[in-house]
Amino acid sequence: IFSVSKFEKLGPPQNIKASVNSRNLEITWDPAPCLSTENENCFEYDIIYWDKDNIFEVNKLKKNHYSVTYIDLTKTYCIKIRTHKSDNCEVGKASDWSETVEVKATVNKFNIVVIAIMSVVIPSLILAILLFFRCQRVLDRILPPIPGPTLRIKHLIEKDFIFQVEAPKCVEEVIEVQGRI
């Protein structure tokens, strides 16, 4: 008996979507159309994904979604998926690999800009405040206030010893000479 499922080559999954949510790579797809069966439980999926350093392979997935946890947000990931029938269904040929889907984590640039601004502005403000108070001390040393007189001088001023001027005493000495003229 001729069976289409024995000779049917499955198509690759359709509508492959990949996205990065927090630190997880989420992959979803639609099953490929199949002539021999409509039962989605008969399909298994192989995923291959890679970054510039590593290649990862996941085989015999029963569902049409997959999640990779704790990815490196600085890397770009490429993904391919293929379909084949599971062992408990009719055997058929595996599909070709799908077109490559590329996904890159979008690092929130706003956060980077805010962090950069805050890392410059906050230390600058702190430095300005410290310099302001430091300059007050420097100004006090460069232009010190005019000092008041010491206690000893104040004491003398209060008693007016310095400013007392006495009239010179003229003492006449009268010498009487008796004499012989």
- Note the pLDDT of residue 48: 93
How many C-beta atoms surround the C-beta of residue 171 within 10 A? 5
With a cut of 80, say whether residue 156 has pLDDT above it. Answer: no
Percent of the chain exceeding pLDDT 70 equals 76
- Note the pLDDT of residue 110: 66
Dihedral of CA atoms 47, 50, 55, 61 in degrees, nearest 10, equals -20
* Residue 38, both tokens: 């409509």
Which burial class, exposed, middle or buried, applies to 61 when counting CB atoms under 10 A from its CB (0-12, 13-18, 19+)? middle
Q: In the chain, what's the furthest Cα-to-Cα distance?
A: 190
- Note the pLDDT of residue 140: 73
- Note the pLDDT of residue 149: 78
How far from 17 is each of 55, 64, 67, 80, 121, CA to CA, in Å?
19, 11, 12, 11, 41
Of 42-56, 75-89, 155-169, the range with the lowest mean pLDDT is 155-169
- Note the pLDDT of residue 107: 65
Q: What is the CA radius of gyration of the chain?
A: 50
Average pLDDT over residues 142-161: 74
Give the span between the Cα atoms of 36 and 8, in whole angstroms: 8
- Note the pLDDT of residue 49: 92
